[in-house]
Chains A and B, each alone.
Chain A
């Protein structure tokens, strides 16, 4: 059967010749209309540019969260045009929101015509946001009518919506349009005719639009998938919930003209509306809050005065020339950019924290430490004069970005600072920045897989091969690893869609602590939302948006170590060990502290406590604060992946000569010497890598800045590869070896994920020193403070307690007549400090119970019976049982078993009626005598196991002790014996698993095991891992056979050949006398074995990656 097709001569081919009317697409939803729009805002702008539109309007569902991205995209296009010297694109971007109502009003797209209109729109959205639950926005037509000023409205009306049009037309004459579409639904022309009649009847003009959901028709499958995710259905049974066709993309003006041939005026209206809008996001002239300054002072002058006074205090009345110059430079820039109030704000926060009683410890981090003003204001603690830090790395003119000062506060008390900010500026002037939660490989695979009809198990299997949640791409290999054929059509489709949906925004969440403050109403700049956390509100722009618009942000962050240090200082004060603050003894560079670190004795110390850091300490042998700075920065993926660690160590220890790669003449052969002098010619810090690009590869500062941004936003865009060629070419052109250039690039790439700027490392190094100093001189204080600050850090309480006992500190058990909620310090007979465990170490025990107990004890001095405790402290039986289980009745002479038997029959609390009367009488037991139950004595092994079950640690013994005899018979060495064996010897050892790690590329697996004599570090190659996977992953008690390796610095590793899971031995510690059918295991042994530090997301990014992997 053949069909003929011919062009109809008579058909008017209108569009070919005629000059098309300019058209602006004014109804476009980006992917910030979550699960509705299927294109990034930038892609919509790019497509509009490509098609030569007169304008594009981005309007997302009840939000303006995506508009800044579009704004940046157009600004970049202008910049790019300027760079290559072509006229800027004619496209105009207008931004607004699509108002979706809860009362049946048709959707209305609102564009502010002026800055004032923008404020009305954001106020309106804020109203809807705060009225609704998190993530929702509830609007009514009446709300819009109250916020109509300077808003232009496009009503997506149906032919029957005349009443609402009349209302709006009356309220906002000449500011209302009817959005008309030609969606290819069959009756389009008839519908358009009806809309024309509606327009005539209401006097509201028609405006042509395509009600865009994505940039190009190819994105229809993606849009369908998003629709299905939203509807919770699969693509196969989504039916008519999907769009019937792929028409809702941006169409070229000619196509739109053809579609609206019946009513060309509708096209003309688009440019008419466009012409009425004067507002752009650049008009958000930001007014930072004016900080109060003393009468007669300007902010800038006051800041200069305060800083200069502080400088004179520090450096003497006559300021050194260097300081004078630094101050002048900074003051000039601050004055020029009008940042004075910002610095005053941060100063005020720090002042607030320090004047609390007791003071909240705080310290600036990040690049703010480059600023002498920050230092003299007490925000940061590193003196830029002595460390030669450059202010321009913090703020510079060409970067045109506001400064970003991050301050860490004690993690337990940060909320006080946050509430102070809200209280001081008010919720209408202060808000936390948003964090856009994007689709990550895991979530993308799971949700797209579900839509395509994959079972949950299959998607779980696919996602389980993605290590960590920050992997930025779903490499083909991952699919193969999961046992799927990467060429299978279903997998191809899944991968294709996952690639598209990756980095799509999913929802907004609050930033960890970045505050945006304004002088005027914040909600007239950006809409505000309720956060999931009580008492928190956040704005809907994230860090990048804020930077792009020049808003200033103060980061109020939480750091567990500051809590620990403050608690340690408090303990020292309490026990007459002196007054200390964060500057403790820093100048001294105490050799004892460094000796301790060089031994790798750093459990609990800030930053350098991970296994990788511990292994590095004896090799790097830090002796000064700057060495600690290097130590902090070097065990990071940047230097490791750039292969900079070994060269640094070899040069430092004098094995390799220190040399600086030189460019070919005519360039200065020593150009790198100044740059890399302090680090033996090896770039270790972020700034060095940046400077390297400028000096050695001829990057302009602007390009280097791009590079810096690419590094900072590595997770959002894979733009790093763009710089590779430029860097390597630039360096080789100047005569560097290609190999060196490659290494530099690798390192810069690594910094993209995890790198430290020098100033940040310096700030952290100080905390390393302070925490080491406390640990070195007051191990009991340090352990006590660390335990009282949990959860934080890398180690579980068991390891902290073990460590402090190894430092000859007595640790005393929990006891009803001695303990409080917190762990505490007691003096022993010789005046030495001993650590008394507190009730907080017990699982499920409550602070209120502890307080009641301590209060009752204070009143009567000492409990003499279980009954007395129950009555006087009014404890419920659950609390008594927990105390008995934790063996806390030792001072009554009761064993754990006796106590447990006793509390089970003790009635809890006391009837209030009798309480008062009895308070004056001696306690008479009401419990009758009982027949002796002749309970068997609890064996020591069971005591230890029960300790682990209730406290997650035991002071009595290590579980391995009880297995030692049997293990010795099997030829299994203790950890101590293993570590003392000859290098190269094959040994067999066993212990409780503390942590399993698979860092970096996963070539090796690191396992740390522990027994009663110490710990052994095990390395297992990936090849063997596959063979022993089950044993490695399931073992709580692991037996390993391998070859002992000892590095020159004495670091010992056991290179495993064979791994056996001996967890069954643990069961024998409590075996019943029956036939062994039940085996109560170390119920929480696995958690003892696998500390899962619950960290602050921000900290997690900065601390070395450590995790038990899957």
Chain B
């Protein structure tokens, strides 16, 4: 059995700082920022994991610092593990920074172990410039060799090399390590050449077991990770099919297969890709997204057909398609919807379906939905976002019971300037001219004073103008939302007025 481990330095992957600044990743440990990982340059300057950031800065004042993100490291390791599928199906993650590949029976496919190692090294070099590789008889041996034998050092015999490694290669607790070193047993060899009973009596049977696994005298295997591959459904044709409709019909069959599979898993798809493989090697993709997880084949086909119809560049079958694939790359849990008693599903789904169809036809940005946004500034209190992106419509502030609406149903963007006669300094408007006609204010309420967002203005300059909003009603019963822009005298000598919106 041959297995292989790759060691990875994770910091190199996320270096967005200038090339010449040493980079460290930091994390908060009991209130203090401490280094979690360093780049090679920082390491060469003597910075190492565990050092307080303040101490590090005292030594190296110019330092590029990023938050340590173990989840991202693990995700990256997962991605590498995915890619390593090409060498062997048995890949394990050895967190936080290593992969273990069981290459038993795989090496010959690549022309032997050495060739395979070279190939892996060449392949991983694309992802990181600091990869250490080693082959070993057991996973423990491989990881020890990868971690403790300096890169580029070739060794005659695996066993002899292992015996020269420090006891830390056993990956044992620090306390045990220290105790062994204090006893003068500093290398694997020191341990291996001594009787094991006294060792077990003092450090537990685990130590002896670890030693045996490392040296190959006990069996050990990796536990390969289970990938969660996206769903794929394919159909190959002996005879290329030349008509798009026929191809779509085949997709329809695949969609039903997908629906069955998804239902069994209790999942639904958020994204579907139909791929047409032309016999001359060209491929076409039809992709669709949905705002809620779904698996209904009819709905899916309707969406794909919409997409097909909306294509500027139609799918050209040429000499025909010899393979068709439906992939569902993004799946999410979908519990069966409760049907309403009187029949029909809940309106939300109908709405979502409509949004999906329109977004598919008109483009994802074309259908937008208002979303409340926490801001005092009226025009910023609502945002419009692509409807397909929204997880769920957010709740709006409920209007106060018995109170008139404080915001109009229509907002002008931008507000429209008006000419106003009003009381100073902050009295209500008496009459105003808008779109060339005079309006006499007969009722008003206000002002509602909304100050500018000072943090969006350069310091030292004016922090922006305050607005005084009035709800007013003119003699003909029309209701406006108008505001004075700037406080009289303190902010502007002659504040301007605008109509910002209309009430019903």
Contact = CB atoms under 8 A, between A and B. Distances in A.
Contacts of B375: 239-240
A935 B447 contact: no
A904 B203 contact: yes
A11 B427 contact: yes
Classify the interface of chain B: helix, strand, loop or mixed.
mixed
Nearest to B375: A239
Nearest to B33: A460
Contact of B186 (A242, A492, A1073): A1073
A1074 interface: yes
A493 interface: yes
Interface stretch (A37-45, A759-767, A793-801, A1029-1037): A1029-1037
B181 A1072 contact: yes
B62 interface: yes
B183 interface: yes
Interface in A293-311: none
Contacts of A247: 449
Interface string B162-194: 001110100000000011011111110010001
Contacts of A492: 459-460
A930 B186 CA distance: 21
B374 A1072 contact: no
A192 to B, nearest CB: 12
A931 B446 contact: no
Given A1029-B59, A1072-B166, A1110-B55, A3 B497 contact: yes
B182 A933 contact: no
A483 interface: yes
A1034 B61 CA distance: 12
Contacts of A322: none
A8 B376 contact: no
Interface string B384-420: 0000000000000000000100100000000001111
A1061 B376 CA distance: 58
Interface in B57-74: 57-62, 65-67
Interface size class of B (residues with CB under 8 A): 35 or more
A868 interface: no
B451 A496 contact: no
Interface string B437-466: 000000001111111001100111001001
B417 to A, nearest CB: 5
A471 to B, nearest CB: 16
A4 B419 contact: yes
B183 A900 contact: yes
B454 A3 contact: no
Given A457-B65, A1072-B166, A8 B198 contact: no
Contacts of A946: 182
Interface in A352-390: none
Nearest to B466: A245
A968 interface: no
A1110 B182 contact: no
Contact of B195 (A457, A489, A496, A933): A933
Nearest to B469: A186
Contact of B165 (A186, A457, A897, A1074): A1074
Interface in A1065-1110: 1070, 1072-1075, 1077-1078, 1080, 1109-1110
A3 B419 contact: yes
Nearest to A937: B184
A1078 B166 contact: yes
Contacts of B494: 5
B178 A1080 contact: yes
Contacts of A1034: 46, 59
B421 interface: yes
- The interface centre, meaning the residue of A6, A10, A237, A930 with most chain B CB atoms within 10 A of its CB, is A6
A245 B449 contact: yes
A897 B448 contact: no
A938 B148 CA distance: 24
A406 interface: no
A186 B201 contact: no
Contacts of B178: 1080
- The interface centre, meaning the residue of B45, B374, B495 with most chain A CB atoms within 10 A of its CB, is B374
B455 A464 contact: no
Interface in A1004-1029: 1029
A464 B56 CA distance: 11
Contact of B422 (A2, A8, A190, A224): A8
B369 interface: no
A175 interface: no
Contact of B495 (A5, A220, A904, A933): A5
Contacts of A933: 194-195, 198
A857 B491 CA distance: 86
Given A8-B422, A11-B423, A881-B179, A1072 B454 contact: no
A1030 B59 contact: yes
Nearest to B188: A1074
A1110 B54 contact: yes
B187 A1074 contact: yes
A8 B66 CA distance: 61
Given A8-B423, A1077-B166, A897 B445 contact: no
Nearest to A884: B182
A221 B458 contact: no
Interface in A474-492: 483, 489, 492
B448 A185 contact: yes
B424 interface: yes
A239 B67 CA distance: 26
Contacts of A10: 430
A1078 B198 contact: no
B447 A901 contact: no
Nearest to B184: A936
A507 interface: no
Contacts of B203: 904
B262 interface: no
A8 B445 contact: no
Contacts of B165: 1074-1075, 1077
A496 B459 CA distance: 9
Contacts of B447: 184, 186
A905 interface: yes
A220 B446 contact: no
Contacts of A935: 183-185
B358 to A, nearest CB: 31
A244 B166 contact: no
A933 B196 CA distance: 10
A452 interface: yes
A246 interface: yes
B471 interface: yes
Nearest to A1077: B148
A241 B185 CA distance: 63
B438 to A, nearest CB: 12
Interface of B: 26, 33, 45-46, 53-55, 57-62, 65-67, 148-150, 164-166, 168, 178-179, 181-187, 190, 194-195, 197-198, 201-203, 373-376, 403, 406, 417-424, 427, 430, 445-451, 454-455, 458-460, 463, 466, 468-469, 471, 494-497
Interface of A: 1-8, 10-11, 184-187, 189-190, 220-221, 224, 235-237, 239-242, 244-247, 452, 456-457, 460-461, 464, 483, 489, 492-493, 496, 881, 885, 896-897, 900-901, 904-905, 930-931, 933-938, 946, 1029-1030, 1033-1034, 1061, 1070, 1072-1075, 1077-1078, 1080, 1109-1110
- A-B pairs, 9 with minimum CB distance: A239-B374, A186-B448, A904-B202, A184-B449, A11-B423, A1072-B186, A493-B459, A936-B184, A457-B65
Given A245-B449, A897-B183, 8 more contacts: A1-B417, A4-B420, A8-B430, A244-B450, A489-B460, A930-B197, A938-B182, A1078-B166
28 contacts: A2-B419, A3-B496, A186-B445, A186-B447, A186-B471, A224-B454, A240-B376, A457-B53, A460-B33, A460-B65, A464-B54, A493-B459, A897-B182, A897-B183, A905-B202, A931-B198, A933-B198, A935-B183, A935-B184, A1072-B181, A1073-B190, A1074-B165, A1075-B164, A1077-B166, A1077-B168, A1078-B168, A1080-B181, A1110-B58
